[in-house]
Amino acid sequence: MARPGATILDADGLRLTAEEKAFFRDADPFGFILFARNVDAPDQLRALTDEMREAVGRDAPILIDQEGGRVQRIWPPMARKWLPPLDFAEAAGAGAPRAMYLRARLIAEDLRRHGIDTNCAPTLDVARDETHPFLRNRCYGTDPDTVAELGRATARGFLDGGVLPVAKHMPGHGLARADSHHDLPRVGLSLEELSDVDFAPFRALNDLPMGMTAHIVFDRIAPAPATLSPEMIALIREDIGFDGLLMTDDISMKALAGTAAEITRSALAAGVDVVLHCNQPLAERIAVAEAAGEMSAAGWARAERALAQRQPPRPLDMTAVEAELDALSGRGPGDD
């Protein structure tokens, strides 16, 4: 079997257009990602995820950002509403590890019923006083041990629910004072200063199947954003010890300069396995797919190992889980 394209791509609307079906058939992206614009009703969403897999002729992974809080693509009544992770963990107090596990199980349950098998979480960035508001309450804690513990619980909850977790944003975005959707964050700390805090949760969870890079420059380590930096990708592989499938964050974010095709080639040359490209016209998706080509042999081997961790969900007593979660958090999962 030929290796798929080194891309994860999105669709414009609620169903694939004829042009999108033809493009996806030819480009054969490794996977797909969904946004709120792709979600309207249960039958519609299941039909869309089926169409995506039919277009490439295989059980391609379908990703989403369903963190809870502001970053949640599916809302009631199709999925539960959640507090942002940091607020939820603080409300749960000493029960946070169990509460985060149960939360992840329920999120996985919501995703699986719609044909979604990969969630871009846990967010393993360590929240700091200076962390930009776009990220801060998406983090799991303000120290690396807490972030690692709650990140592990969340990842186990997803995996037990039949959903692959994606650790983000490697090697750590917590010191960013800028929103990488609009600007390029820069961090001036040394490797030694970063290693025991920002990089530590990723090191503790370096066995997760998938990871996502950060569009952030660590000035005292490398001159380019981590997504485009051979030095930073080597650090993720060697120092952090991550040998899972490594994808970029969305390359259309304003933190990265250049055309989409140029960024694609630079990211793959730096050592990432697959490029995530979102929210742009079909012509740009075509250019990205052409620039990416097929996955490398090493990337496809990592992808196959990651996909092998997709398992049927473990049995779940939904009533008991929701009651336990209410008791742990002091509120229902849908409360603000």
- Residue 215 within a domain: yes
Q: Is the pLDDT of residue 67 over 60?
A: yes
Do the Cβ atoms of 140 and 123 come closer than 8 Å? Answer: yes
**E strand or H helix at 158, and its extent?**
helix 144-160
Q: What is the SS3 assignment for the chain?
A: CCCCEEEEECCCCCCCCHHHHHHHHHHCEEEEECCHHHCCCHHHHHHHHHHHHHHHCCCCCEEECEEECCEECCCCCCCCCCCCHHHHHHHHHHHHHHHHHHHHHHHHHHHHCCCCCEECCCECCCCCCCCCCCCHHHCCCCCHHHHHHHHHHHHHHHHHCCCEEEEEEECCCCCCCCCCCCCCCEECCCHHHHHCCCCHHHHHCCCCCEEEECCCEECCCCCCCHHHCHHHHHHHHHHCCCCCEEECCCCCCCCCCCCHHHHHHHHHHHCCCEEECCCCCHHHHHHHHHHHCECCHHHHHHHHHHHCCCCCCCCCCHHHHHHHHHHHHCCCCCCC
Taking the C-alpha atoms of residue 103 and residue 121, their distance in angstroms, rounded to an integer, is 12
Q: What is the pLDDT of residue 333?
A: 46
- Residue 246 within a domain: yes
Residues 45, 50, 54, 55, Cα dihedral to 10°: 10
Q: What is the pLDDT of residue 336?
A: 44
Q: Is the pLDDT of residue 331 over 70?
A: no
Task: Look up residue 232 and give its two tokens.
Answer: 């930073």
- Residue 336 within a domain: no
Structurally, the chain folds into a number of domains equal to: 1
Taking the C-alpha atoms of residue 219 and residue 330, their distance in angstroms, rounded to an integer, is 43
Residue among 213, 216, 329, 317 nearest 271 (CA)? 213
Rg of the Cα atoms in the chain: 19
Q: What is the pLDDT of residue 90?
A: 94
pLDDT digits (tens, 9 = 90+) for 263-297: 999 999 999 999 999 999 999 999 999 999 999 99
Q: How confident is the model at residue 174 (pLDDT cuts 50, 70, 90)?
A: confident
Cis amide prior to 122 (ω within 30 degrees): yes
pLDDT digits (tens, 9 = 90+) for 202-234: 999 999 999 999 999 999 999 999 999 999 999
Q: How confident is the model at residue 243 (pLDDT cuts 50, 70, 90)?
A: very high
Q: Is the pLDDT of residue 78 over 80?
A: yes
Residue 113: give its domain's CATH number.
3.20.20.300
Q: Is the pLDDT of residue 51 over 50?
A: yes
pLDDT digits (tens, 9 = 90+) for 261-270: 999 999 999 9
Mean pLDDT for the chain overall: 94
- Residue 73 within a domain: yes
Residue among 25, 118, 42 nearest 76 (CA)? 42
Q: Is the pLDDT of residue 69 over 80?
A: yes
- Residue 335 within a domain: no
Q: Enumerate the active-site residues.
A: 181, 249
- Residue 137 within a domain: yes
pLDDT digits (tens, 9 = 90+) for 81-94: 999 999 999 999 99
What's the mean pLDDT in 226-254?
A: 96
Residue among 170, 305, 300 nearest 238 (CA)? 170
For 226, the domain range is: 5-329
Residue 96 phi/psi, 5-degree rounding, is -60, -45
- Residue 26 within a domain: yes
What's the mean pLDDT in 159-166?
A: 98
- Residue 334 within a domain: no
Backbone conformation region of residue 195, classed left if phi is above 0, alpha if psi is from -120 to 50, else beta: alpha
Q: Is the pLDDT of residue 332 over 90?
A: no
